[in-house]
């Protein structure tokens, strides 16, 4: 057994597991247990197995077969999971689409995926109909009639552990979305890790993360892996999510930092009954210690930080609950992403040379053409994230390598400046970017969302930062904005912000 509670038997089982076998198993062992909740709708394991059987037969009748791609366009809903199990039963592949992309971008992704079938939510019907011709099914009456037209007979397919079952596309914060192929073995490895987060058959998990993101679909699969119940949240409304946590006796939710910030800001959040919570997991973007301390006060349960990528099928580095110290010398770990799981190898390398950098030094945390760019010749995955390791092996992330600001020959890491400004009582949200400057190469600009009813002067914020940062790291200007553009997983679209400033 590893120090994180994952046994050797767990790891061996994950190496040979197939996705479809998960729903088959629990349809036999606990058929009436609720697998998925979505609003007022519930699906038991027996129902999920039956519906995915009908769907698998419908796909076969439509000419799909092993290796075929089936795309889904819409918010989080049980249909995504039905499709996941259905494609696994015939050897096909689900392609969950980022609904925030423009129709042109969606067309490019569909062309790349070569998906002959698109299933779309009614909200996205018009967009789906405007995309290049392909078979189209709309969730609702059309989808239900389609399923009922086919027998609930399991086609019996399992595939091999190394077969692709999900094709995701990166969020596109730095350019065109890129294809990431995920296998049965990949998903099983991620689900096995859930033992570290106290998942079991009694778990009630909740995810408001989109299912086109590994943090969303991976979290759902963790619950299904244990035969547990998972709550899908399509629209993140902080007060409603707090209601769900309390009323549904949620044990294991996952949030991005922005969501945690919004939840803790709801009046009376700390007075709710959070006794059912085993832990709260957070990840997908950097978190400030201000937000983390507020979450610890509000929920009173262990917090678990996760760092990972779509390419790594989720978390590979974690900050355990015991590492969240709010005072004393170990409170510095609140800025850390944690340490790699025992089965993960991690190194910090110079992005230019590929050579390891010394402890404490910043480097990069380490597709035909795209794959060559992501993987080094000796098999290391290049993350694109900047960070350093301390003497105890904790990983501290600085920023995306491309987001680092070079001002007057000095490196400025936006997260460091954001961390300081977020501590100001008038600041609700902040993003720091570098913009071109003739004299300095780049200059630091802070974009600030203020708390309701607060109106600080830009100079007040710069003075506040000057007491905590070196001079070259200080924002040269502070601009106030109503909100910050973000991906559905909470990452600030800094490329978009920089483009706005360059255009201006």
DSSP 84-153: HHHHHHHT-EEEEE-TTS-HHHHHHHHHHHT-SEEEE-GGGHHHHHHSSS-EEEETTHHHHHHHHTS---
Percent with pLDDT over 90 in the chain: 60
Task: Name the pLDDT band for 38 (thresholds 50, 70, 90).
Answer: very high
pLDDT of residue 436: 84
What the chain holds in terms of domains, given with CATH numbers, is 8-230 (3.40.50.12780), 404-504 (3.30.300.30)
HSE at residue 164, side-chain half, CA atoms within 13 A, is: 18
3-state secondary structure of 215: helix
3-state secondary structure of 359: coil
HSE at residue 40, side-chain half, CA atoms within 13 A, is: 0
pLDDT of residue 201: 96
pLDDT of residue 13: 66
Q: What is the pLDDT of residues 185-237, one digit of tens each?
A: 999 999 999 988 999 999 999 999 999 989 999 999 999 999 999 999 999 99
Residues 6 or more apart whose Cβ sits within 8 Å of residue 398: 362, 385, 386, 387, 388, 404, 413, 415, 416
More confident residue, 379 or 157: 157
Closest-CA residue to 256 (of 292, 282, 287): 282
CA 462 from chain center: how many Å?
Answer: 32
Asked if pLDDT for residue 451 goes beyond 50, the answer is yes
> What kind and span of H or E run contains 309?
strand 303-309
CA–CA gap between residue 453 and residue 98 (Å, rounded): 35
What rounded mean pLDDT belongs to the chain? 89
pTM, whole model, 2 decimals? 0.81
3-state secondary structure of 287: coil
pLDDT of residue 1: 40
Task: Name the pLDDT band for 7 (thresholds 50, 70, 90).
Answer: low
Task: Name the pLDDT band for 126 (thresholds 50, 70, 90).
Answer: very high
């Amino acid at each position: 057994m590893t120090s994180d509670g994952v046994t050797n038997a767990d790891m061996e089982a994950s190496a040979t597991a197939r996705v479809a076998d998960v729903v088959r198993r629990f349809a036999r062992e606990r058929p009436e247990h609720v697998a998925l909740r979505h609003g007022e709708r519930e699906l038991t394991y027996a129902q999920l197995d039956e519906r995915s059987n009908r769907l698998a037969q419908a796909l076969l009748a439509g000419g799909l077969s092993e290796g075929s791609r089936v795309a889904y366009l819409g918010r989080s809903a049980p249909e995504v999971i039905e499709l996941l199990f259905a494609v696994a039963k015939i050897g096909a592949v689900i392609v969950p689409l980022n609904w925030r992309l423009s129709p042109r971008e969606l067309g490019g992704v569909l062309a790349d995926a070569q998906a002959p079938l698109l299933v779309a939510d009614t909200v996205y019907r018009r967009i789906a109909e405007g995309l290049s011709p392909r078979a189209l099914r709309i969730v609702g009456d059309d989808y239900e009639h389609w399923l009922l037209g086919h027998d609930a007979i399991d086609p019996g397919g399992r595939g091999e552990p190394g077969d692709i079952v999900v094709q995701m596309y990166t969020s596109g914060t730095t350019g065109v979305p890129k294809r990431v192929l995920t296998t049965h073995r990949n998903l099983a490895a991620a689900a096995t890790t859930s033992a570290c987060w106290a998942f079991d058959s009694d778990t009630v998990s909740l995810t408001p993360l989109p299912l086109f993101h590994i943090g969303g679909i991976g979290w759902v699969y963790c619950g299904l892996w244990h035969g547990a119940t998972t709550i899908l949240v399509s629209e993140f409304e902080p007060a409603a999510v707090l209601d769900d946590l309390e009323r549904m006796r949620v044990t294991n939710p996952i949030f991005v930092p922005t969501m945690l910030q919004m939840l803790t800001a709801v009046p009376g959040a700390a007075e709710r009954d959070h006794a059912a919570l085993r832990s709260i997991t957070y990840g997908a973007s950097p978190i400030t210690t201000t937000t983390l301390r507020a979450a610890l006060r509000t929920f009173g349960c262990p917090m678990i930080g996760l760092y990972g990528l779509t390419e790594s099928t989720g978390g590979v580095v974690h900050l355990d609950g015991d590492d969240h110290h709010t005072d004393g010398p170990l409170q510095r770990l609140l800025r850390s992403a944690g340490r790699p799981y025992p089965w993960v190898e991690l190194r910090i390398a110079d992005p230019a040379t590929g050579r390891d950098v010394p402890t404490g030094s910043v480097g990069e945390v380490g597709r035909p053409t795209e794959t060559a760019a992501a993987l080094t010749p000796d098999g290391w995955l290049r993350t694109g994230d900047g960070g350093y390791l301390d003497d105890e092996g904790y990983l501290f992330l600085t920023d995306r390598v491309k987001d680092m600001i070079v001002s007057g020959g000095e490196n400025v890491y936006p997260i460091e400046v954001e961390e300081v400004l977020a501590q100001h009582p008038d600041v609700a949200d902040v993003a720091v970017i570098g913009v071109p400057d003739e004299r300095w190469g780049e200059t630091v600009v802070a974009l600030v969302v203020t708390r309701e009813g607060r109106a600080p002067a830009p100079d007040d914020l710069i003075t506040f930062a000057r007491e905590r940062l070196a001079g070259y790291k200080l924002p040269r200007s502070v601009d106030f904005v109503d909100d910050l553009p973000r991906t559905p997983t909470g990452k600030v679209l800094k490329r978009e912000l920089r483009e706005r400033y360059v255009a201006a």
